[in-house]
Amino acid sequence: MSRRSGTVSGSRRRDRSLSAGARRRRREWTGWLYLAPAMVFYGLFVLQPLGRSVQYSLYDWNGIGVARFVGMDNYIKIFDEPDRLTTLVHAFELMLFYTVLSVVLALAAATLTRRLSSGAAHAARTVLFLPQVVPLVGAAIAWSWLYSSDGVINETLRGVGLGQLARPWLGDFDTALPAVGFVGTWVMLGFCMLLLSTGMAKIDPALYDAARVDGAGPVAEFFAVTLPGVRRELTVCVTLTMIAALASFDVVYVMTSGGPGRATAVPGVEIYQLAFTQAKVGAASAMGVVLMVLVLAVILPIQRLMRER
């Protein structure tokens, strides 16, 4: 009897453990099932095109005719032709405007609006965020007008007696890239400021009180409390603005198409021209792959660097 009951209880225990494993397995299955639609789309619309691009980059192909396998030739050409290399240098120069300038200004704006009354702060944030809402192509056209020889900027300069500074900003070799870059600052500033303001709002006010008790002025307070408090938001800002700088296309294409000369040629415009005006799908894909690797090479260390220790 006791033996029997022992067996029963033993088998029951085994049953329970089996069913628990099966349940866990089923739970895992259900998890994957929920994931499946997203994974299918991800594979189809992200991984598959990515794979295709890598494949195309190994061919000399005009998009229509017969493709010829050329191995790494397209990649070698990128680093061999100074013109294509220059575009990468310009992308890093744009980072000054897209990332450095806009993050610094956004930090200042967010810190200042934090001290404003909620109504004024709200108004300031709305004004600064507005460029994010405007389609970039429209903004680029408007900025082209502002920068033109008889545009608002030059007329203002002439009006206040600084006529000698007036110039065709987008047609001048020295000012074209900064002029285009500044539009990037104008666009990214609002986004960064909003993100940083949100970050600042969740900093515990007690920290500020403590800093003040320790005798910290506004500057020390900023570096001791505010800056560490928005570290995560800062990472996101820096990451996204860097990607925007490296992958910039629309603003440059609309405002200068890479000119004058090659003063504003960036990888995005170069890829577009290779693929669609020169019908070199392979070379364009190789440039795209290099750009992707470059973005990852810049972003991953930043992620590591700015992660909380």
The verdict on 300 binding another protein (CB under 8 A) reads: yes
The verdict on 232 binding another protein (CB under 8 A) reads: yes
The SS3 of residue 146 is helix
Nearer to another protein, 13 or 68 (CB): 68
CB of residue 229 vs another protein: minimum separation in angstroms? 12
User: Do 182 and 121 contact (CB within 8 A), yes or no?
Assistant: no
The verdict on 305 binding another protein (CB under 8 A) reads: no
Segment contacting another protein (CB under 8 A): 94-102, 118-126, 208-216, 229-237? 229-237
Q: Give the C-alpha separation, 151 to 119, whole Å.
A: 34
Q: Give the C-alpha separation, 133 to 244, whole Å.
A: 16
The verdict on 248 binding another protein (CB under 8 A) reads: no
Q: Give the C-alpha separation, 185 to 249, whole Å.
A: 15
**Orientation of helix 176-201 relative to helix 82-95, angle to 10°:** 40
Residue owning tokens 């799908």: 281
Q: Which of 133, 206, 277, 305 binds another protein (CB under 8 A)?
A: 277
At 124, list the tokens. Answer: 């300031």
Nearer to another protein, 135 or 215 (CB): 135
The verdict on 30 binding another protein (CB under 8 A) reads: no
Listed in sequence order, the residues at least 6 apart from 74 whose beta carbon sits closer than 8 Å to its beta carbon are 57, 58, 60, 282, 283, 285, 286, 287
The verdict on 257 binding another protein (CB under 8 A) reads: yes
CB of residue 28 vs another protein: minimum separation in angstroms? 11
Contact set for another protein, span 49-78 (CB under 8 A)? 50-52, 54-56, 59-67, 69
Q: Give the C-alpha separation, 68 to 56, whole Å.
A: 10
Nearer to another protein, 4 or 304 (CB): 304
At 162, list the tokens. Answer: 């600084």
The verdict on 84 binding another protein (CB under 8 A) reads: no
The verdict on 303 binding another protein (CB under 8 A) reads: yes
Total residues contacting another protein by CB under 8 A comes to: 59
Q: Give the C-alpha separation, 128 to 110, whole Å.
A: 10
Phi, psi (rounded to 5 degrees) for 145: -65, -45
Q: Which of 235, 247, 292, 294 binds another protein (CB under 8 A)?
A: 235
Q: Give the C-alpha separation, 108 to 197, whole Å.
A: 10
How does DSSP classify residue 167? -
CA atoms within 13 A of residue 245's CA, in its CB half-sphere: 32
User: Do 264 and 256 contact (CB within 8 A), yes or no?
Assistant: yes
Nearer to another protein, 121 or 240 (CB): 240
CB of residue 258 vs another protein: minimum separation in angstroms? 7
CB of residue 43 vs another protein: minimum separation in angstroms? 5
Contact set for another protein, span 122-151 (CB under 8 A)? 148-149
Q: Which of 178, 216, 259, 294 binds another protein (CB under 8 A)?
A: 259
The verdict on 98 binding another protein (CB under 8 A) reads: no
Q: Give the C-alpha separation, 214 to 208, whole Å.
A: 10
The verdict on 262 binding another protein (CB under 8 A) reads: yes
The verdict on 168 binding another protein (CB under 8 A) reads: yes
- Interface ranges with another protein (CB under 8 A): 42-43, 47-48, 50-52, 54-56, 59-67, 69, 81, 148-149, 167-173, 199, 232-233, 235-236, 239, 256-262, 265, 273-274, 276-281, 299-300, 303-304, 306-308
